[in-house]
């Protein structure tokens, strides 16, 4: 169970603040943090999308790790834009967590509540809508071939994928409609022939020697020299995939059709659990805990 990613700092609020002196006797991890409200986005073109994402951000802030933040301050943000290449509205909803450091001169405290605002480097929970870039897939290139990311776990029954060495990505796709399709060996070889080049002749000759059953098998990345198609055996097989041409509905540009979630961090996936055990109060650990505590199944009803 793991996850997440990044966000603009929406720190401006009309709060009475004062510079805080160092308090060496009190652990920064125990200090109460501010939890700022979301500043209005006021986008008239997609009011339902905005309302739903505001509800999602409020839900993340209400999870046990963030409902009464300690050691971090919580800063939500929301941006809604038009996709530059597709008839789709994209959005980025973020929860930015900043670590509290009472000794830092930039630290401020709300005199009314006694809560601190974090400073320095933090971590984000980033939710992207109608944008597959966290999975290194480009929705504007439906004819391109991609590598299927490795599935490494799940949250609330939804799949987590590992992309490169970064944090795992939670994929929330429309029920019963996959975002990508695996290519068969025959489809992959046909693609090589169609694209021409030095592999076209080899692909044509190789396909001619295969049975219909072999051509209908999934195509994986070759792992040996001079091999055109891998055999998909073993846990590290990587499948060739293409985007599902029937996935996106251009007639519903403001609808939520796809959602991905990630916590931003350069920490390797293999060292993540150790970090969480040893440093449970860091922004990274609390971001992951909040992501795992939120019931992502409830947003499935929003997807169209």
pLDDT of residue 254: 94
pLDDT of residue 5: 34
- Positions of the chain with pLDDT under 70: 1-26, 165, 266-270
Q: Which residues contact 198 (CB under 8 A, 6 or more apart)?
A: none
DSSP string computed for 7-22: ----------EEE---
Instruction: Find out whether 262 and 158 touch, Cβ atoms under 8 Å.
Output: no
CA 137, 142, 146, 148 torsion-angle sign: positive
Query: Tokens 């939500």 correspond to what residue?
Result: 76
Bridge partners (DSSP) listed for residue 76: 95
pTM: 0.86
pLDDT of residue 9: 29
Q: Which residues contact 130 (CB under 8 A, 6 or more apart)?
A: 83, 88, 89, 90, 91, 139, 248, 256, 257, 258
* The total number of residues written for the chain in this structure: 304
């Amino acid at each position: 169970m793991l996850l997440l990613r990044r966000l603009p700092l929406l720190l401006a609020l009309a709060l009475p603040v004062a510079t805080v002196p160092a308090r060496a006797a009190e652990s920064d991890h125990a200090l109460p943090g501010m939890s700022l409200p979301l500043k209005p986005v006021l986008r008239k073109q997609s009011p339902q999308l905005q309302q739903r994402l505001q509800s999602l951000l409020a839900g993340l802030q209400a999870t046990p790790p963030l409902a009464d933040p300690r050691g971090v301050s919580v800063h939500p943000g929301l941006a809604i834009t038009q996709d530059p290449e597709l008839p789709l509205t994209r959005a980025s909803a973020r929860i930015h967590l900043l670590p509290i450091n009472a000794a830092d001169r930039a630290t401020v405290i709300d005199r009314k509540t006694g809560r601190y605002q974090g400073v320095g480097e933090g971590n984000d929970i980033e939710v992207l809508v109608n944008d597959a870039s966290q999975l290194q897939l480009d929705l504007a290139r439906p004819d391109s071939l991609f590598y299927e990311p490795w599935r490494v776990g799940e949250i609330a029954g939804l799949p987590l994928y590992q992309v490169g060495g970064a944090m795992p990505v939670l994929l929330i796709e429309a029920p019963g409609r996959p975002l990508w399709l695996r290519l068969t060996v025959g489809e992959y070889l046909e693609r090589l022939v169609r694209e021409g080049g030095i592999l076209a002749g080899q692909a044509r000759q190789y396909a001619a020697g295969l049975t219909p059953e072999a051509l209908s098998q999934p195509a994986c990345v070759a792992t040996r020299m001079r091999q055109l198609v891998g055999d998909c055996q073993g846990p590290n097989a990587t499948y060739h995939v293409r985007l599902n041409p029937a996935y996106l509905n251009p007639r519903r540009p403001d609808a939520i059709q796809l959602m991905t979630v990630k916590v931003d961090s350069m920490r390797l996936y293999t060292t993540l659990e150790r970090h969480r055990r040893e440093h449970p109060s860091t922004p990274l650990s609390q971001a992951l805990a909040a992501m795992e505590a939120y019931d992502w199944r409830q947003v499935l009803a929003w997807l169209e």
